[in-house]
């Protein structure tokens, strides 16, 4: 069949010409031999004989069951050879899962038990010649212990399991939770639950295990300078003035010494002793007045705050290295006042996460 290409008609001339040409091509294709169709250009072949696709089932096979033979045929890229590695063949210090959530039971200092929603981060090291890990194994290893009341001993057992499952040298488990403690109001006798953001962390590096406890403590900070200036205005000019104060957050991270046990409540009590102006839960007018008096009795710069926390931590023989990061979210300024105090090499760093201080905002 000979096909001649002519100058296309001008706009408005024979609008059906293209459709008739396509019909002619398709009629030819219906009767042409394989050799004649093969001689056509790819563009014309695609137009007259569009590609066909295999027919797949679109219904979920509810009754399909996996047996060992079928399972053995499934591809497993993460356990593939080192030739599959993309990028540099370098060791990875941490790889795993984050924010895997489940209800976990924790002991309280008074002998009770609370089951709380917990966010788990589990990671392992990965050698340079290994492609990857099967991350679901971390979850499966953790679930073996999920019904136990958690302590660092239980966390160590979970870490042992997934280190073995993943054949890794180093490993880490971090468990974040919000821990409720009932607190009385300052004067009215009301009670309410204060929630403390806590995290337990177990890290094994080079065969050495370290235990850490982290606490975000929320308090009010009244500026000592602003307090003095307000009193000066009252004394010299009879001018009523209010010192500025603001919600503030300290992130306290401590290493627990080998063989020691530090209750959640122990670390919370240390923070409350250091800076007693903790934000309140249930408040009536007499409580609000009491809180104003408490703040006036404990004015505090951010430098004072980290040193007061430091003093409390240094007095606890169970605490090894520690770090205090404080942020006073100023009501006077459009910026925050911040400070970091470290004791020992564990938490000391030349560089910090650029979002470190931004993460200290208390969202309730």
* Predicted pLDDT at 10: 55
Q: Label the pairing between strands 208-222 and 191-205.
A: antiparallel
Evaluate whether 128 touches 90 at the Cβ level (below 8 Å).
yes
Question: Is residue 26 domain-shared with residue 146, that is, in the same domain?
Answer: no
pLDDT at 194: 97
Residues 238 and 334 in one domain: yes
* 229 and 321 both lie in a single domain: yes
Average pLDDT for the chain: 89
pLDDT tier, 4 (very low <50, low <70, confident <90, very high otherwise)? low
* Tally of structural domains, the chain: 2
32 and 116 housed in the same domain: no
What pLDDT, on a 0 to 100 scale, did the predictor assign at position 6? 54
The answer to the question of residue 3 being in a domain is: no
- What pLDDT band is residue 13 in, cutting at 50, 70 and 90? low
Looking at the chain, how many residues does it have?
364
Residue 67 lies in a domain: no
Q: Angle at CA 362, nearest 5°, toward 152 and 256?
A: 25
Residues 23 and 169 in one domain: no
- Does 142 lie in the same domain as 21? no
β 149-150/92-107 pair status: parallel
Q: Give the strands of the sheet with 113-126, arranged side by side.
A: 149-150, 92-107, 113-126, 171-184, 191-205, 208-222, 245-256, 319-328, 337-343
Give the residue numbers spanning the domain of 34.
Answer: 17-48
Give the pLDDT of residue 16: 74
**pLDDT value for 138:** 84
Q: Greatest CA separation found in the chain? A: 109
In terms of domains, do 179 and 241 share one?
yes
Residue 201 lies in a domain: yes
In degrees rounded to 5, what are phi and psi of residue 175?
-120, 115
pTM of the model: 0.82
Ramachandran category for residue 14: left, alpha or beta (phi over 0 → left; psi -120 to 50 → alpha): left
For residue 63 the two structure tokens come to 């009754």
Is residue 230 included in any domain, yes or no? yes
pLDDT above 80 for 23: no
Q: Compare 30 and 215 and report the one with higher pLDDT.
A: 215
Does 11 score more than 60 pLDDT? no
Percent of the chain with pLDDT over 90: 65
Q: pLDDT of 179-206, one tens digit each? A: 999 999 999 999 999 999 999 999 999 8
Same domain, 350 and 256: yes
Q: Which of 110-114, 153-157, 284-288, 332-336 is the least confident region?
A: 153-157
Model confidence band, residue 2 (pLDDT cutoffs 50, 70, 90): low
Angle at 309 between CA 304 and CA 313, to 5 degrees: 145
Q: Which three-class secondary structure state does DSSP give residue 275?
A: coil
Whether residue 162 sits in one domain with residue 25: no
Domain assignment present for 343: yes
* Span 252-272, average pLDDT: 97
CB 322 within 8 A of CB 253: yes
Q: What is the pLDDT of residues 81-129, one digit of tens each?
A: 888 889 999 999 999 999 999 999 999 999 999 999 999 999 999 999 9
Q: Tell me the three state secondary structure of residue 62.
A: coil
Q: Does 242 share its domain with 186?
A: yes
**Domain contains 167:** yes
> Is residue 243 in some structural domain?
yes
pLDDT, position 162: 78
Per-residue model confidence as pLDDT tens digits over 57-69: 889 999 999 999 9
Q: What is the CATH number of the domain that holds 169?
A: 3.10.270.10
Q: Decide: 8 and 18 in contact? Cβ < 8 Å.
A: no
pLDDT of residue 57: 86
Residue whose C-alpha is closest to residue 140's, from 116, 158, 117, 126: 158
Q: Which residue has the higher pLDDT, 126 or 163?
A: 126
Q: Do 234 and 116 have their domain in common?
A: yes
Half-sphere exposure of 356 (CA within 13 A, CB side): 15
Examine residue 41 and state whether it is found in any structural domain, yes or no.
yes
């Amino acid at each position: 069949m000979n096909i001649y290409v002519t100058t296309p008609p001008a706009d408005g001339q024979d609008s059906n010409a293209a459709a008739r040409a396509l019909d002619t091509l398709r009629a030819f294709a219906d009767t042409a031999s394989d050799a004649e169709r093969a001689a056509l250009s790819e563009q014309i072949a695609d137009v007259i004989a569009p590609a066909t696709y295999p027919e797949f089932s679109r219904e979920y096979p509810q009754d399909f069951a996996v047996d060992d033979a079928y399972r053995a045929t499934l591809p497993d890229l993460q356990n593939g050879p080192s030739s599959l590695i993309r990028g540099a063949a370098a060791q990875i210090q941490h790889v795993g899962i984050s924010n895997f959530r489940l209800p976990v039971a924790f002991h309280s200092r008074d002998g009770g038990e609370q089951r709380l929603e917990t966010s788990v981060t589990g990671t392992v090291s990965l050698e340079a010649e290994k492609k990857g890990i099967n991350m679901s194994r971390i979850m499966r290893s953790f679930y073996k212990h999920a019904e136990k009341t958690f302590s660092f001993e239980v966390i160590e057992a979970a870490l042992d399991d997934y280190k073995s499952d993943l054949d890794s040298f180093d490993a880490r488990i971090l468990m974040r939770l919000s821990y409720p403690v009932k607190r009385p109001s300052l004067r009215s006798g009301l009670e309410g639950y204060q929630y403390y953001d806590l995290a337990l962390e177990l890290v094994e590096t080079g065969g050495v295990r370290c235990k850490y406890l982290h606490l975000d403590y929320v308090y009010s900070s009244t500026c000592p300078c602003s307090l003095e200036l307000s009193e000066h205005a009252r004394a010299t000019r009879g001018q009523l003035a209010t010192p500025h104060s603001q919600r503030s957050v300290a992130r306290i991270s401590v290493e627990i010494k080998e063989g020691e046990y530090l209750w959640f409540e122990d670390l919370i009590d240390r923070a409350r002793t250091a800076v007693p102006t903790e934000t309140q839960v249930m408040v009536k007018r007499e409580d609000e007045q009491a809180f104003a008096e408490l703040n006036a009795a404990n004015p505090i710069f951010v430098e004072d705050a980290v040193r007061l926390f430091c003093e409390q931590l240094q007095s606890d023989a169970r605490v090894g290295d520690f770090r205090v990061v404080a942020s006073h979210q100023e009501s006077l300024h459009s910026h925050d006042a911040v400070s970091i105090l470290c004791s020992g090499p564990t938490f000391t760093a030349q560089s910090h996460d650029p979002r470190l201080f931004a993460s200290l905002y208390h969202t309730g």
